[in-house]
Amino acid sequence: MNLRRWAPWAILAVVLVAALLWGAGGDDGPADPGERTERLQRQIACPECDGQSVAESNAPVADTIRRFITVRVDEGATDAEIRDQLVLSYGRRVLLEPERTGFVALVWILPIVALLAGLAGLAWAFRSWREAETAAPTAADRDLVEQARRHQAEPDDGEDAR
């Protein structure tokens, strides 16, 4: 087995597995309830504002949601429970980040698949080019070179007429 040939692929596999493990790993979350509250407020969209989180908005409904999040965090509710309650009250549009499960997971997975397919295509192209450069010339290649040499050695009629 040629180590030089397989080393880049092994490195790529290790990096890919590490990235997938890091991405799939659970977030322990902030230990402080205040940090949890702030993070949730940044993840929830203001239902009346266009593209603003409740943390950024000054709308009355945003203030209501901020107070709701603070109370629920103090009561010991999980982030998922708080999000689910807000989705029940305001709909899915209140979530600024798409879910990472089910059909919506394609939003997270497709860019990675496209990147890997592109890298695989580049690797295949580079390998093909390298093999083409190192391939021994064929008889047809030699004939083509000989014809070019003969053509270069013959005087061009257009140049003699000048």
- Looking at the structure, tell me whether residues 91 and 35 fall in a common domain: yes
Per-residue pLDDT tens digits for 58-71: 999 999 999 999 99
Per-residue pLDDT tens digits for 80-118: 999 999 999 999 889 887 666 677 677 778 888 899 999
- Looking at the structure, tell me whether residues 81 and 111 fall in a common domain: no
- Looking at the structure, tell me whether residues 113 and 75 fall in a common domain: no
* Interatomic CA distance for residues 133 and 141, integer angstroms: 13
- Looking at the structure, tell me whether residues 83 and 115 fall in a common domain: no
Count of domains for the chain = 2
- CB neighbour class for 70 (10 Å; exposed up to 12, middle 13-18, buried from 19): middle
Per-residue pLDDT tens digits for 23-55: 766 556 556 888 999 999 999 999 998 889 999
* Cα distances (angstroms) measured from residue 10 to each of 5, 13, 64, 113, 117: 10, 5, 52, 18, 17
